[in-house]
A and B are shown apart, each in its own frame.
Chain A
Amino acid sequence: MSSAEKCPRTEAISALVDDELADPARAALDAHVQGCAICAPVLAEFRQLHTTFAALPDVTPNVDFAFLVDRRIAAAGVPTPKPKPQRWRWWQLAPATLGGALSLSLGVYLGGTLMLGSQITAQPAALQMAAFTAIPPGALCPALQACNSMGR
């Protein structure tokens, strides 16, 4: 069994090496490790591993992927990203609805004002049609009943 497997604080020591341990816990662990025969070798091994990783040679690609990727996108006709169609939201119609309602109200108001200004008053339909009867306006009635039936 390795020392890391024996140590109950492996997780915390790993976080200590990564500098991801908050300060009170960090100080407490530092103090503990100095006097612990199980934890001290684990910390040393993890730090050694970190150093060896840092010594890994850097890897640099010998091609320009930007060029290769762009060529593939163009050649294969990979579709250009298009923003998702926006979801319909009811409140997006609010300005149009408000505008429509205002226009309608204004139309009714202006119409009413014009009607009042021209002093036109509604007449009964029978009176309006009286102009088209056989008896011209102002002529004598042939019989009183006939005049009454026409509203004269």
Chain B
Amino acid sequence: MLARDGPDEDWVRRAQTGDRKAFSELVRRHQKSVYRYLLRMLSSHDDAMELTQEAFIKAWQALPQWRPEAQFRTWLFRIANNAAFDALRHRKLIEFVPLEDSFDAPGSEPDPAHQAQVTQEVRQLDVSLKKLAPEHRQILLLREVEEMSYEEIGSVLSLNEGTVKSRLARARAALIEIRARSRS
């Protein structure tokens, strides 16, 4: 019997033998971050819902190829990221439909003026992210939202750490440029 809080790798080994319950445990652990990433990449709740399921089904089919040297999380994100890019290419989603009510800023800030400013900043960021090139958006989301290290991002995107470093800097510069243009 595996511990619920045990490492992913133990559950993956069990799922590799065809244990669907073990795989369901892995899905529960990672569904939130995969869905969040796909939602922000595609800006569509329906697409994110569909692609999250597809990503997990592809992961199930590809389980025999998983090796313990790879973190399950980054391996899964590589599958999800490929699914997102396939969808973007296939559906030619260059300009995204804005996300509406689900992207309101959290209301924990007591100062109303500051709260309004934060809300404004977050909305602006959300709009600017959609205008960003998908390659820049993906790397910023992996770093800033999923909090992955350069090594982990490199593993997801099949890039060396030097390229991750330079692409992140360019992505940040591009995002700041877009925000500055939208302000003026």
Is B104 in contact with chain A by the CB < 8 A criterion? Answer: yes
Task: Please name all residues of chain B whose beta carbon is closer than 8 Å to the beta carbon of A14 when the two chains form the complex.
Answer: 165, 168-169, 172
| Given A60-B32, A83-B16, CB of A66 within 8 Å of CB of B165 | no
Main secondary structure of the interface of A (DSSP, over half): helix
Determine the distance from Cα of A75 to Cα of B85 in the docked complex, in whole angstroms: 27
Residue B53 contacts which of A4, A56, A72 (CB distance < 8 angstroms)?
A: A72
A-B pair number, CB within 8 angstroms: 133
Interchain CB contact under 8 A, B16 and A73: no
Residue A82 contacts which of B64, B105, B149 (CB distance < 8 angstroms)?
A: B64
Interchain CB contact under 8 A, B53 and A68: yes
Is B182 in contact with chain A by the CB < 8 A criterion? Answer: no
Residue A79 contacts which of B61, B144, B172 (CB distance < 8 angstroms)?
A: B61
Size of B's binding interface in residues, CB under 8 A: 52
Main secondary structure of the interface of B (DSSP, over half): helix
Residue B125 contacts which of A2, A18, A20, A52 (CB distance < 8 angstroms)?
A: A52
Interchain CB contact under 8 A, A45 and B150: no
Determine the distance from Cα of A80 to Cα of B14 in the docked complex, in whole angstroms: 12
Minimum C-beta distance from B10 to chain A (A): 16
Is B72 in contact with chain A by the CB < 8 A criterion? Answer: no
Those of B107-150 within 8 Å (CB) of chain A:
118, 121-122, 125-126, 140, 143-145, 149-150
Residue B102 contacts which of A50, A57, A72 (CB distance < 8 angstroms)?
A: A57
Is B83 in contact with chain A by the CB < 8 A criterion? Answer: no
Residue A52 contacts which of B40, B122, B168 (CB distance < 8 angstroms)?
A: B122
Is B68 in contact with chain A by the CB < 8 A criterion? Answer: no
Task: Please name all residues of chain B whose beta carbon is closer than 8 Å to the beta carbon of A23 when the two chains form the complex.
Answer: none
Is B15 in contact with chain A by the CB < 8 A criterion? Answer: yes
Most buried by B among A73, A81, A83: A81
